[in-house]
Structure 1
């Protein structure tokens, strides 16, 4: 389950969200809290993330500077990298993070296909990798096909609203 409070100002987004996941055969139960900010173009500027498991709590901060380099701060320290020019972050178990690329590329407003470098955050282990995310749309909200490291070889077709926010991510979540 994901709950997100979103504030919009033009293309800027500020979001505070929480993900709660039950234990499965492949992952432990966990909770994640995030705080995200984008710039005026809709590109991610900062993500703060706290993941809580039964035995520990871990934190991560990813921030993009004016040179489009990313500073990643976690329990191991800090690192700075370009992540192949990524301007977006995608996070496992979160339909909301797909909204960032969809809105920035205006895929909810026009037919188009894009493949963009993306920072992909894996949960609950908090892995941070560079990945390519491919999106294609047939236009105004009918469905947007997504290929990211978490969707498999056939991708996933998302349903979005008129503002580009995901309302149905098959197999993961439906907005209520």
Structure 2
């Protein structure tokens, strides 16, 4: 049964509600294909100021180093663009793993390795992860350029060393790593970001909203 709203509203109230809806950023669906054809990542992303909520999934075929796997994640960034919480669920033919990692305003990371799906013992670790504010999820193109957004990098900013919490796949191990980001130039295809990790540098391409378009050696957006 259809029910019509006949509530009387003050003049201008309906227009105010419409205006509020109009300024709410719409959600986006972003999809990346692995450069080797064996990986696909898709994420629904909703942003509001510095805040971000992303629901994503990675499906990857087996390689010489890793088994075939499916990974789902839920990421929340705070109003400064730093990670507030990340949930990851990793599935291979042999096992399932679950990880919850959250960051407090006091700078403490809570890493919960308990696997409630299989009745595993809950294990929560408190750590500072070398002062990290960002997370890098292995094999994810979405996470690759998020620190650029938080730092508000420009070509004039120069290179910035960024401590990060790195989440490995499929074991979901968490360790502190150091990355270096530099927004080097703007080109017609997008903004070029030099990312240095383990003394190796690649040039990422990101769109005007700061999301990855091309991550050399990993994936391109489709």
Q: If the TM-score is normalised by the length of the shorter chain, which range does it land in?
A: over 0.9
Q: How does 1:161-172 map to 2 (within 5 A)?
A: 161-172=207-218
What is residue 147 of structure 1 aligned with on the other side?
A: 196
Q: How does 1:1-176 map to 2 (within 5 A)?
A: 1-75=40-114, 77-107=123-153, 109-111=154-156, 112-140=158-186, 141-148=190-197, 153-176=199-222
Moved more, 163-172 or 44-53: 163-172
How far residue 7 of structure 1 moved from its aligned partner, in angstroms, is: 0.2
TM-score by length of 1: 0.93
Larger Rg: 2
Unaligned runs of 5+ in 2: 1-39, 115-121
Between the two proteins, the alignment pairs up a number of residues equal to 172
TM-score by length of 2: 0.74
Moved more, 152-161 or 20-29: 152-161
Query: Secondary structure of the equivalent of 1:24?
Result: coil
For the aligned residue pairs, the C-alpha RMSD in angstroms reads: 1.3
